[in-house]
Structure 1
Amino acid sequence: MYKKEIYHFHEGKPLKVVVRNYQKEDFDELIQIQKESFPPPFPPELWWNVDQLTNHTTLFPEGALCIEVEGEIAGSMTGLLVEFDPLHPWHNWEDITDNGYIGNHNPNGNTLYVVDICVRPSYRKHKLGKVLMDSMYDVVVHKKLDRLLGGGRMPGYHKLASQLTPEEYLENVVRGGIRDPVITFLLQCGRLPVTIVGNYLEDEESYNYGVLMEWKNPFKYNL
């Protein structure tokens, strides 16, 4: 099981932060955080439910992480293990995560796949998402996996969809000409784009596109 205690600085003030595996007693708070983090037009049916969270904590508890700030849960991150073939990267979120239930978790998989990451809005400026991401990298290294992988939304794309293709939009984000709330964050966390996937997730802001992005285990890949 995973537990990390650090002092994380926000506006020059050190805050006691704990990253740990979430448990059954955390479910109500985690569902509330989902509601706060993904308001409409994000589909409400994609918020966590108790059955999904139960699977997370029983099928792959190592991939069920939450972050506490001064004792309050501020966000969570969830993953499962899959066998990923880089030559055939295309998939959608629903299929690869079993619609968030992770019933297809493969204990012998080579890749930790990110099902979800969210930080409640009141903590968005604390940069806790990167702390969660770094913690999930710890899991990748500990389990000697090939990579962390996941599809990132492109919530800024709808503003420019009439001017740019998804590929052009991503290229501009990578060059720094456009800042996308999700893709830019993932780049800052060390994730690299693999490919754009159409119909990845029901998401009006992204026109249903997702950017598959990975972090390779540096102990398994020579650069």
Structure 2
Amino acid sequence: MYTKEMLITDPDQSGKRVKAVVRNYVAADYEELIRIQAESFPPPYPEELLWSHEQLTSHVQHYPVGAICIEVDGELAGSMTSLRMQWDPAHPASHTWAEVTDDGYIRNHNPDGNTLYIVDLCVRPKYRKWGLAQLMMQAMYHLVIAQGMDRLLGAGRMPGYHLVADQLSAQEYLEQVAAGERRDPVISFLLRCGRMPVGVTADYLDDEESCNYAALMEWQNPFR
């Protein structure tokens, strides 16, 4: 199981440092994790896509080391969930979130899969300037290396795309964000975390802001 303690800077209190802990989440965390999801993904994000007790239980049953959360000064502030899958980069088939995550239950987790797939990432809004998402992403990179996988893979929302969808294809939008010509709240963050764009997948989520597209992005294990 994973536990990492560190001191991080409170951006609102002139450099004050507080303790943060990245660890695997357990049953006692479920209620708070569901509250964090509701805060992190307000409408128009579909309410039915927020975690349930049954889904969180399934994460811990099928791949406990791939289910992490982060605490700040003892308060749960975010979570990140993953599964292992087999993926062929030469033939990156299009997929939906429901297909690749088993509707969020990850019962399709493959213990021998060559790829760590990110199911979900969320951070409580009041902590979004603290760099917590990057810390959880680093923990997932550690997992890729520790378990000898080839890569981390995930499909990121493109919430800025709807603003220019009448001018650009989803692929063109991704390319412009990757080139630094545009900024997207999610894709620009993933680029800062070292993720590389692979392409776009259509009908990934019922997501008005992204026009149902998502950007497929990977991080390759440098030791493979």
- TM tier, shorter chain? over 0.9
User: Which residue does the alignment assign to 1:4?
Assistant: 4
Is it true that 1:186 corresponds to 2:179 in the alignment?
no
- 2:48 pairs with 1:70: no
Per-residue Cα deviation, 1:134-157 (whole angstroms, up to 9, x for no partner): 011111111010010000000010
- Counting aligned pairs with the same residue, the percent is 59
Q: Which residue of 2 aligns with 1:28?
A: 31
CA separation in 1, counterparts of 2:46 and 2:39?
13
| Gap regions ≥5 residues in structure 1 | none
Q: In the alignment, which of 202, 206, 217 is matched to residue 202 of structure 1?
A: 206
Three-state SS of the structure 1 residue aligned to 2:128 is helix
Deviation, structure 1 residue 211? 0.6
Match of 1:217 in 2: 221
* Cα RMSD (Å): 0.8
d(CA) in 1 for partners of 2:204, 2:217: 13
Show the 5 A alignment for 1:48-59: 48-59=51-62
In structure 2, list runs of 5 or more residues that go unmatched.
Answer: none
1:152 aligned to 151, 156, 173, which one? 156
| Structure 2 length-normalised TM | 0.96
SS of the aligned residue for 1:32 comes to helix
Verify: 1:42 aligned to 2:18, yes or no: no
Any residues of structure 2 matched to 1:160-179 within 5 Å, and which? 160-179=164-183
1:98 to 92, 97, 102: 102
> In the TM superposition, what is the alpha-carbon distance from 1:10 to its structure 2 partner?
3.2
What's the offset of the Cα at 1:8? 1.4
Instruction: Report the CA distance between 1:202 and its aligned residue.
Output: 1.2
Q: Deviations over 1:58-82 (max 9, x none)?
A: 1000100000000000000000000
Question: What amino acid is the match of 1:99?
Answer: D
CA distance in 2, matches of 1:24, 1:115: 18
**Could you tell me which amino acid in structure 2 is paired with residue 75 of structure 1?**
G
Q: Residue by residue, what CA displacement relative to the aligned partner does 1:167-195 show, whole Å, maximum 9, x if unpaired?
A: 22111111112110100000000000011
Matched, 1:88 2:101: no
C-alpha distance in structure 2 between counterparts of 1:175 and 1:194, whole Å:
14
3-state SS, counterpart of residue 77 of structure 1: strand
Map 1:123-134; keep pairs closer than 5 Å: 123-134=127-138
